[in-house]
Every structure is written in structure tokens, then in C-alpha cells.
């Protein structure tokens, strides 16, 4: 099947290659055992996505196991919680940083945004980003819990606080929709070098296609490298494998 994406002819194989190049291959199950974690890392070693995303406790193992070209991101700050004891959240980030993480994914306090307390959300986020010690930071907005105005405000606060990427979802409370992807792309376009990470519910290449089609009016997304665009997913690699193994 051939589709036109942003003026470029991209067949199924090209879409799979694009997805892999921009994939944050993810394992964030706190109950995963050693066998599951090693299987995940071995699969990442074989396919070489843009990055893996793991919990802070697994950062050092990922760094030791994977090719240095594969970025190791960590969902830290007591993921997937948006709030809680600030010292615990900071300690969790420190674990990831000390383990050698290249990037940190942090959940913004979307509950404060919903409660019309954007100042509280901003203050907490500033503290957490400060602890990331200059690493690339992706701020998770949890867009499925916000209305459009709240989401846009949250995205702009995240950028003001120093986010390198605005990210849609944890995947625990709903996922990214094509409309959300389009709006985030528009906001990122307004702010030059800010990246976008779409995550949650993107399980197949068809799902990804729908999001890319929606984003096309805001930015030439297929021309962006992994330093500006990522796809967070755990099961998308299944679809990628099926195509690239043909």
C-alpha cells in the first residue's frame, strides 16, 4: 500500500524504517523480571531503535548492554505519578542520572493544571528539570486528562520551564490522538527547536500513519530527525518487524 505523506511517497517499508529510526522502544513495567528485561534489551540491540525508555532502576543495565548509539531514556520522577513527595521524585531522577541516562521523561502535574493551579505545576516542573543536570528532558503532559485549553497551556509551561520535548502521554490514562499530535506539532513549530514525542495507543504502523497525516499541516514531520521527533511505544516494534523481515 502506497500513501502520500507530506508530499513524499512512502511505502510500507519506508514507513517502518521511519518508525524504527524515531522509536523510543519502551519497557516501564515495574513487575518485569530479569528475563523479560534482558529479552527487551536483546531485542533493542537487534533492531537498534532511536532509544529505549526504561525505569531508573534499569538505566545502568541498559547502558552496559546496549550499543552506545542507542539512547537510554528513563521515565523518572516516580512515573507515572504526576505529583507526590517532591523529594522522592527528585531521588528517582537522581537514580536515573547517576545510572547514566541520556534523557529523562517526566510527568507534569496535570492534576494541578486541571485544578486551575498552573503556578504549582510550573514550580514543581522547574524543580524536577533542574535535577536532570542538563540532560534532554521530555515533559509528559498526559493530554487524555486535559481539555484542549489546558493541554495548550501545559505545553507552553513545559517549554518555558526548559522542556526539550513535549510528550503526549504516559499510556496509563489513555493515549495520543491524531488531533493531539497535530496541536502539539503546531505548538512545537511556534517554538523552534522543541521536539515532539507522541505516545500511548500507537501500536501499529496504521496508527502511526494516522498521526502523521494529522500532523502534516503543522510541520514537515517526516523530515525531522530523532532529535526533534519520537514515537513512544512498546508494541509498535511488532509491526515494524513484520515489514522489515519480509
Confirm whether 246 is domain-assigned: no
- Give the pLDDT score at 68: 96
Query: Which among 92, 109, 138, 167 is annotated as catalytic?
Result: 167
- Give the pLDDT score at 197: 98
Per DSSP bridges, beta strands 229-233 and 8-10 are unpaired
- Give the pLDDT score at 6: 41
Identify the three-state secondary structure at position 191: coil
Residue 90's Cβ-count burial label (10 Å; 0-12, 13-18, 19+) is: middle
Identify the three-state secondary structure at position 47: helix
pLDDT in tens, the chain (246 residues): 223 344 454 689 999 999 999 999 999 999 999 999 999 999 999 999 999 999 999 999 999 999 999 999 999 999 999 999 999 999 999 999 999 999 999 999 999 999 999 999 999 999 999 999 999 999 999 999 999 999 999 999 999 999 999 999 999 999 999 999 999 999 998 988 899 999 999 999 999 999 999 998 777 787 889 999 999 999 999 999 999 997
Confirm whether 83 is domain-assigned: yes
**Cell numbers standing for residue 113:** 493544571
- Give the pLDDT score at 167: 98
Q: With left for phi above 0 and alpha for psi between -120 and 50, is residue 198 left, alpha or beta?
A: beta
Bridge partners for 24 per DSSP: 51, 232
Q: How many domains does the chain have?
A: 1
For residue 235, the 8-state DSSP code is: S
Residue 29 among the catalytic residues = no
CA distance 54 to 219: 29
Contact 168, 198 (CB under 8 A): yes
Query: Which among 24, 102, 109, 197 is annotated as catalytic?
Result: 197
Residue 11 among the catalytic residues = no
- Give the pLDDT score at 228: 95
Confirm whether 245 is domain-assigned: no
Identify the three-state secondary structure at position 32: coil
- Give the pLDDT score at 193: 82
Residue 67 among the catalytic residues = no
CATH number for 221: 3.20.20.70
Query: Which among 105, 109, 164, 207 is annotated as catalytic?
Result: 105
Q: Which structural domain range is residue 83 located in?
A: 3-240
Amino acid at each position: 500500500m502506497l500513501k502520500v505523506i507530506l508530499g513524499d511517497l512512502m511505502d510500507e517499508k519506508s514507513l517502518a524504517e521511519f518508525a524504527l529510526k524515531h522509536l523510543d522502544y519502551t519497557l516501564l513495567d515495574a513487575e518485569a523480571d530479569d528475563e523479560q528485561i534482558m529479552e527487551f534489551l536483546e531485542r533493542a540491540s537487534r533492531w537498534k531503535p532511536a532509544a529505549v525508555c526504561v525505569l531508573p532502576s534499569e538505566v545502568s543495565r541498559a547502558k552496559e548492554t546496549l550499543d552506545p548509539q542507542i539512547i537510554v531514556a528513563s521515565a523518572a520522577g516516580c512515573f507515572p505519578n504526576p505529583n507526590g513527595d517532591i523529594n522522592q521524585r527528585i531521588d528517582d531522577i537522581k537514580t536515573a542520572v547517576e545510572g547514566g541516562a541520556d534523557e529523562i521523561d517526566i510527568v507534569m502535574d496535570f492534576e494541578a493544571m486541571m485544578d486551575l493551579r498552573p503556578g504549582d505545576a510550573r514550580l514543581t516542573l522547574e524543580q524536577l528539570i533542574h535535577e536532570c543536570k542538563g540532560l534532554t528532558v521530555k515533559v509528559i503532559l498526559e493530554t487524555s486528562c486535559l481539555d484542549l485549553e489546558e493541554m495548550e497551556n501545559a505545553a507552553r509551561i513545559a517549554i518555558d520551564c526548559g522542556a526539550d520535548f513535549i510528550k503526549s502521554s504516559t499510556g496509563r490514562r489513555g493515549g495520543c490522538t491524531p488531533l493531539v499530535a497535530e496541536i502539539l506539532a503546531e505548538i512545537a513549530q511556534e517554538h523552534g527547536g522543541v521536539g515532539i514525542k507522541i505516545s500511548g495507543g500507537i501500536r501499529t504502523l496504521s496508527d502511526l500513519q494516522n498521526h502523521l497525516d494529522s500532523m502534516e499541516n503543522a510541520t514537515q514531520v517526516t523530515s525531522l530527525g530523532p532529535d526533534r521527533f519520537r514515537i513512544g511505544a512498546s508494541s509498535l516494534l511488532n509491526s515494524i518487524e513484520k515489514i522489515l523481515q519480509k
